Amino acid sequence: MRERLAASFALFTLVLLIAGGVIRSYTLGHELREQQSDRLHQEATLVARVVDARVGEGEPVDAAFLSELVHDRARIAYTPGVAGDPVEARGPSYDAEGDDVTANVTVDGGTVTVAEDDRLVWNLVVGDPWALAGLGMLALVGSGLAGLLVARRLSAPFQRLADAAGALGRGRFDLDLPRTRIPEAAAIARSLSTSADELRDRLRREQEFAAHTSHALRSPLTGLRLELEETLLRDDLPDEVRTTLRRALDGIAHVDEVAGELVELQRGSLVEGAQVPLRDLAVQVAQHWGDELALVDRDLSAAVQGELDDGYTPGPVEHLLDLVLAAVLDASAGAVRLVLAGDTDGHLRISVTLDRPASEQPTSDQDPFGAARSVCAALGGRWVGSEPTAGIEILLPRR
């Protein structure tokens, strides 16, 4: 996008330069021709006076006489009024094939014509062509650089919007949206922010629905199963009743299994198609943590265990771990150990441990991991531990 904007800006500037140069050349050439015509008229008047004086003295007006009056790019012609042949003198640089700018003055003895090569006007308008070409190239390079700067400034908000859209597609809600005065970019940012809020609300509602559904369906079934099992312990039950109660227990177990499957279906992937294998997710997280810790001269050791091919929605995991990383950087010191393990049930277990405690404990009573705990709870996860030196363990569902 930036390259196309820069090229468009340079091309637009080039077109403006060419159009302005053509218009300016036309107007300047017209003005120069008018000035040249006035100057030639003055020269023709002066030559006419000299010729008139020579004729009055009875001296001949020939080519040798006129050659003393003509300059390099001009032509002077004298046509006698009564008898005699026209006389003409040309300067050494006069172009007979080009267009002329002429001025005629009538005297008693005939007509004096002074003509000048039109190339003089062209040379004055164009000047040095190499200098003009160099100036054009300099203007073109300058416009290209200016276009690149403008394009970078214009495209920066849209690049951040593209990154935010990609993060939303990965299931992240903490979008880094640009603050810009460009109306289109601001409208897109508002739309992305609204979509992120709606997805966050959807996740919360689905978690509440899953929890309520599990409790509303399984609690009565569990109570009924316990009562039936207690009834089966009686010795005075007829065989037919005992058989019926066992079939009822099998039915309750089947309904409980179906209820569990429905809850798991409700807890399906937040963003369909966005799941990545655990090994890829671990590499991305470890690279990000390693880069951030390296900025403060701290080491990271990372490991991945368990079911490496199981897929997880990366956005929520990355968001949670970013909050944990910020708290670790703020409230601890020393090397960090990060372990991601996937079990056969699809849960993701994250362990964070420090090699040594912080040299200075934070004076605030606020829990540095409070934001991370809230996100963990919103994701339906479980948080174990409060001090990274003793080990923090986070258990998340596949989602």
Integer Cα distance of 172 and 165 in angstroms: 9
CATH of domain 2-125: 3.30.450.250
Token look-up 């950087």 returns 329
Find all residues with CB under 8 Å of 209, minimum gap 6, and list them.
266
How far apart are alpha carbons 282 and 286 in whole angstroms? 6
pLDDT in tens, 108-121: 767 888 887 666 66
Buried b (16+ CB within 10 A) or exposed e, 290-325: bebbeeeebebebebeebeebbbbbbbbbbbbbbbb
pLDDT digits (tens, 9 = 90+) for 142-182: 777 777 777 777 778 888 888 788 777 766 777 778 888 88
| H or E, element range at 174 | none
User: Other C-beta atoms within 10 Å of 164: how many?
Assistant: 21
Give φ, ψ of 112 to 5 degrees.
-110, 130
Residue range 283-323, pLDDT digits in tens: 888 888 888 888 888 888 888 888 888 878 787 788 888 88
pLDDT (tens digit, 9 = 90+) per residue, 362-381? 445 567 788 888 888 877 78
Instruction: Name the residue ranges covered by the structural domains of the chain.
Output: 2-125, 206-266, 276-396
Closest CA to 275 of 309, 244, 241: 309
One of 3.30.465.10, 3.40.50.300, 3.40.50.150, 3.30.565.10 is the CATH number of 276-396, namely: 3.30.565.10
In terms of C-beta density within 10 A (0-12 exposed, 13-18 middle, 19 or more buried), how is residue 91 classed? middle
Can you give the pTM of this predicted structure?
0.47
Q: Which residues pair with 342 in a beta bridge?
A: 306, 348
Q: Which residue has the tokens 């077109």?
A: 15
Percent of the chain with pLDDT over 90: 0
What would you report as the CA-atom Rg of the chain, rounded to the nearest whole angstrom? 47
The residue ranges of DSSP E strands in the chain, in sequence order, are: 74-80, 87-90, 100-107, 110-117, 276-277, 300-306, 311-312, 336-342, 348-354, 382-384, 392-396
